[in-house]
Amino acid sequence: MIDRRAFVNLLGAGAAGLYVAGCASASDETSEEAPVPTSLVERVGLGLFSIPHLLEEDFEGTMRLLADIGYKEIEIYGPYPFSVPAAQEMWAALTPQLGFSASGYYGMEPEGLRSLLDDAGLSVPSLHIDLGTLRERIDETAEAVQMLGARYAGIAAIPEQERAALDDYRRLADEFNEIGRRAVERGFRFLYHNHGYGLQEVDGAIPMHILLERLDPSVVALEMDIYWTVAGGADPVEYLQNWPGHYRLMHLKDMTELVRFEGNGDNPQEWMELFPFMASPGAGVLDIAAIVAEAKTAGVEHFYVERDLAPDPANMLQASFDFLNALQG
């Protein structure tokens, strides 16, 4: 079993639109053409943590597969060669249990990775990295972001020991704003991906609300994971409606049935207990079409399929793309 503190630190270190046809005017007997429906997700993306084994077996071939299916964007995860030693050591300790070890640039130089992706027609709008590296090596992070042509870099989760109390969330919000300001000065924006904790009331307040009330959306972008948001007992549409302009990226996966964390979703053990209920977008009970439509209104720019460690990756990739590509609005 993966040590839960190590795992969360590592992660801190991944109704279809309808239209109404115009009708003839009773006064002038002219008709208007029906509005042409457009795709809600114009550039379908993939979080690479969905398919680590395919990547380790044949990274270049997998990138060609993604492009052939129709994916346009990917989100990569660390650690990277420039990550702080603590992140490198933690990853090395976990990989025997995970069953794969490749991450970051997948054994390539960053220029080689960028060239390969350019040839495949894939872009990297965002990357996940550990909090320690952002704190200590933001210049190296900026170099990686610029080399890859990305716009966002940030964390998949807050380390569990850093969010034990409401005051921790206040402190972290202020620190995220500071990291965000430093990031903007270097040409990218800091992102924070929610992982299901912090969505229930604690001591009279909801931790996620504390973050949202203090975060500056001009320097910090949020990445909503709809699965973990629902598992945490929250409504993705309500968050998008109540906090427009905060969410710029989104992870999409479905639920085979509606499930919630047994607790508050505070630790990786609770997360892993819900892995069996994950489904490809469109193959479960979540109203993904409605969520995506609201996300577009709220300012979300990038949509990634992200079904963690998908058990049947080839079929998942095709089915997920087909569903999202067919959404119209």
Tokens 């979540």 locate to 286
The DSSP secondary structure of 58-69, one letter per residue, reads: -HHHHHHHHHHH
The alpha-carbon radius of gyration of the chain (Å, integer) is 20
Residue 39 — pLDDT band, cuts 50, 70, 90?
confident
Question: What is the chain's mean pLDDT, rounded?
Answer: 90
Query: Encoding tokens for residue 170?
Result: 């206040």
Domains of the chain: 4-14+41-326 (3.20.20.150)
Average pLDDT over residues 211-225: 98
Judged by average pLDDT, the poorest of 17-21, 148-152, 167-171, 193-197 is: 17-21
Instruction: Note whether 5 and 101 are within 8 A (CB).
Output: no
Please say if the pLDDT value at position 24 is more than 80: no
pLDDT value, residue 35:
63
Tens-digit pLDDT profile for residues 182-214: 999 999 999 999 999 999 999 999 999 999 999
Judged by average pLDDT, the poorest of 172-176, 203-207, 263-267, 315-319 is: 263-267
pLDDT value, residue 16:
30
The DSSP secondary structure of 44-111, one letter per residue, reads: EEEEGGG-HHHHHH-HHHHHHHHHHHT--EEEEE---TTS-HHHHHHHHHHHHHHT----TTTTS-HH
pLDDT value, residue 309:
86
Going by their DSSP bridges, the two strands 247-252 and 254-255 should be labelled as unpaired
Please say if the pLDDT value at position 242 is more than 80: yes
Q: What is the C-alpha separation between 129 and 14, in angstroms, rounded?
A: 9
Average pLDDT over residues 17-34: 38
Residue 32 — pLDDT band, cuts 50, 70, 90?
low
pLDDT value, residue 3:
47
Tens-digit pLDDT profile for residues 61-115: 999 999 999 999 999 999 999 999 999 999 999 899 889 999 999 999 999 999 9
Helix (H, G, I), strand (E, B) or coil at 239: helix
Q: What is the C-alpha separation between 79 and 72, in angstroms, rounded?
A: 23
Helix (H, G, I), strand (E, B) or coil at 247: strand
Geometric angle at alpha carbon 229, from 296 and 250, rounded to 5°: 35
pLDDT value, residue 10:
46
Q: What is the C-alpha separation between 190 and 264, in angstroms, rounded?
A: 25
Alpha-carbon 141 to chain mean position: 18
Residue 8 — pLDDT band, cuts 50, 70, 90?
very low
Please say if the pLDDT value at position 148 is more than 90: yes
Tens-digit pLDDT profile for residues 246-256: 999 999 999 99
Q: What is the C-alpha separation between 178 and 262, in angstroms, rounded?
A: 34
Please say if the pLDDT value at position 33 is more than 90: no
Question: What's the full length of the chain, in residues?
Answer: 329
Bridge partners, 305 (sequence order): 46, 252
Helix (H) or strand (E) holding 329: none
Alpha-carbon 183 to chain mean position: 19
Bridge partners, 247 (sequence order): 222
Going by their DSSP bridges, the two strands 254-255 and 278-279 should be labelled as antiparallel
Please say if the pLDDT value at position 151 is more than 60: yes
